[in-house]
Amino acid sequence: MVYAATATAPVNIACIKYWGKRDTKLILPTNSSLSVTLDQDHLRSTTTSRADESFEKGDRLWLNGKEEVVKPDGRLGVCITELRNWRSIEEEKDSSLPKLSQWPLRIASYNNFPTAAGLASSASGLAALVASLARLYQLPQTPSQLSLIARQGSGSACRSLFGGFVAWREGVKSDGSDSLAEEVAPQSHWPDMHAVICVVSDAKKGTSSTSGMQRTVETSTLLQERLRIVPGRMEAISTAIKEKNFEEFASITMKDSNSFHSVCLDTSPPIFYLNDVSKSIIAVIEELNRSSGKIIAAYTFDAGPNAVIYALKENIPKVLGAINRFFPTSEEPRDPFGIAAQDLPEGFDLKVVREGGWEKGAVKTLIHTRVGDGPRTLSKE
Ligand code: DP6
């Protein structure tokens, strides 16, 4: 008999960035991080896992239709082995359970967003894999416990096991048992938190997060300063989220993105993830905030040039207006909300942006989305 389970998992974008490992095998970070989970109605990974006694020996995986090798000691292999071990514990407790832990697996995963969206898909992909296997194996573990496994697939994936606002606690233990994800606030707490993804480039990034952060740990002295500052930021942003204080949330988010890119520059050889279009997006958002008389939008950049702009729903028309004015996109925005761009605040001065040295750049695509829920599952025998 074939047992199968399907799960979908969301993308998450960090406001306090994870950058650096204290243990590269277990994937234990040098600092805690915090992210917003984005709506999986718009962006998601879907994974189906099947177990069958009669499958030929060995696990097999297809990613977006292409077969990938599952190395037993690779990141994916480690996740599968740990989940199998948890299943075999359940099988020992209850001998009537089918011995799924001993059967080969066939796993198929795909993203509904094109790789061309320039978004890291490893977080949603690994979270969907862990959620689908946890469902297949009927595991009793909580999302936080499952995050311990997802973390070993890719650090940021552990945060995609929750919806809403999520913290990944760095932990202190050397076995990693306290380095897990926790919900700071659910999606329902602040549903007006929206995000606009500006796709600047769909090219594969030059330096991967994994190798880039390792190089930073080995060579950056500025990282020590960052590690001293992040705990206070974690506290402050959690409070801002709980109090729905957007200005504070936004100010910390922008500061932390800039701090992360500073330690990248302080790495030897230096790592440049932002390009001129990214920098002009920063200038446009800074000018939007200045001319609004308060902070209404926050930019953040991961290990690449694409921007994610957080803003409350009511201010999205202004954000779209500002971006459209400076960067006429080559494609229609992907906006499930159908919100139209609005005139900019009266004092918005493109000259200020241009005087900063920024010329009209190219934003390929805009994707408008919002805070979303955690993994969803369904299963059948
Ligand atoms: C800049 O989770 O991709 O997006 O653990 O080596 O797989 P590995 O790295 P990964 O790093 C993400 C880095 C980041 C910041 C963040 O998401 O917190």
160 lines ligand 1 (CB under 6 A): no
**Cα 286 from chain centroid?**
24
- Two tokens at 145? 């416990």
Q: Which residue has the higher pLDDT, 103 or 121?
A: 103
Residue 214 Cβ contacting ligand 1 at under 6 Å:
no
Binned at pLDDT 50, 70 and 90, residue 360 comes out as: low
**pLDDT digits over 41-58, tens only?**
989 999 999 999 999 999
CA distances from 307 to 27, 96, 103, 324 (A): 26, 51, 43, 14
pLDDT confidence of 348, banded at 50, 70, 90? confident
Q: With a threshold of 0.95, tell me whether the complex ipTM lies above it.
A: yes
Pick the residue with more confidence: 203 or 381?
Answer: 203
- Ligand 1: residue whose CA is nearest its atom 5: 155
What are the Cα distances from residue 70, in Å, to 5, 15, 76, 126, 279?
19, 32, 7, 13, 39
Provide, rounded to the nearest whole percent, the portion of the chain with pLDDT above 90: 77
Contact between 266 and 218 (Cβ < 8 Å): no
Looking at the CA of residue 156, tell me the nearest atom of ligand 1: 2
Distance CA 214, CA 166 (A): 24
With the most atoms of ligand 1 within 8 angstroms of its CB, the residue from 154, 168, 207, 209 to mutate is: 209
**Ligand 1 close to Cβ of residue 209 (< 6 A):** yes
pLDDT at 347: 77
Ligand 1 atom nearest to CA at 27: 5
Report, as an integer, the average pLDDT of 185-202. 92
Q: Record the pTM.
A: 0.94
Q: Using the atom order of ligand 1, give the atom closest to the CA of residue 168.
A: 18
Q: Mean pLDDT over residues 351-360, rounded?
A: 61
Give the Å distance between the CA of 90 and the centre of ligand 1: 32
Cα of 353 from ligand 1 centre, angstroms? 31
Give pLDDT tens digits for 62-92: 988 899 889 989 999 999 999 999 999 999 9
Whether residue 380 is predicted with pLDDT greater than 70 in this model: the reply is no
pLDDT of 365 reads 80
Greatest alpha-carbon span in the chain = 73
Mean pLDDT, the chain, rounded, equals 91
